[in-house]
Amino acid sequence: MPRGRYSLHDPHDHTPLGEEHFHCATGPSGWRYVSQITTPSGDHAGSVDLTLDDLGRPIRLELHAASWQVRGAALDGVTWVRSDPTGEFAQEGNVPAHSFTGASPAFLIATSRLLRPAPGAPATRVRLVALTPPVLAPRTLDQSWALLKTEAHATDNGPLTVENYQVSDLETGETHDVHLAGDVVLAAPGIELEDLESPPSTFG
């Protein structure tokens, strides 16, 4: 069960945004990721609880940020409820999309599990609902993912397979690289892996 800490920063000007303390685990029915997010000063800023099935579909998502929360799942596309803590301003949403995305590294793992592109294959297009702090307002976007290469790196615990993805925003044309090892993000825009207590899990 990988457990560790990511540092989060603005990908454009590198302003620190805080840290995400996480643990995650694979199982016979899928994958679960749980994290607590703190501000640069160490105050609690939110949480992520995401469960995928064995096909990479989000069967349970719960996000908290500031005074907002979202619960969602893959249902007739993706369906969610966004609300304040009291539920007074709860709003339901549904769009014909494949999954969710957001600021957490968990969503990069989730999208890679959903698409599972082959190395060198043409880029795969995916429609996602983005939920980003601080207000978690939903926004539908289209991306393309291509697995450029996989590399095996020797470690004390045996070979570590690193996947290098190229991710493109189909609205803006912006392209960036994402480096994953099993269920851990090694590097991505705005994300740095600062501490890892145990090796990444490998997916069957």
Per residue in 129-164, pLDDT tens?
999 999 999 999 999 999 999 998 887 777 889 999
Using the structure block, give the residue that is written with the tokens 């592109």. 117
The pLDDT, as a whole number, for residue 185 is 97
Which burial class, exposed, middle or buried, applies to 201 when counting CB atoms under 10 A from its CB (0-12, 13-18, 19+)? middle
pTM, whole model, 2 decimals? Answer: 0.95
Please state whether the peptide bond connecting residue 134 to the residue before it is cis, i.e. omega within 30 degrees of 0: yes
Beta bridge partners of 48: 35, 63
pLDDT range class, residue 203, cuts 50, 70, 90? confident
E strands within 12-67?
16-27, 30-38, 44-53, 58-65
Query: Under DSSP, is residue 157 helix (H, G, I), strand (E, B) or coil?
Result: coil
Per residue in 48-101, pLDDT tens?
999 999 999 999 999 999 889 999 999 999 999 999 877 788 999 999 999 999
The pLDDT, as a whole number, for residue 137 is 94
Query: Under DSSP, is residue 108 helix (H, G, I), strand (E, B) or coil?
Result: helix
Single out the residue of 97, 57, 61, 101 nearest to residue 78, CA to CA.
97
The pLDDT, as a whole number, for residue 85 is 77
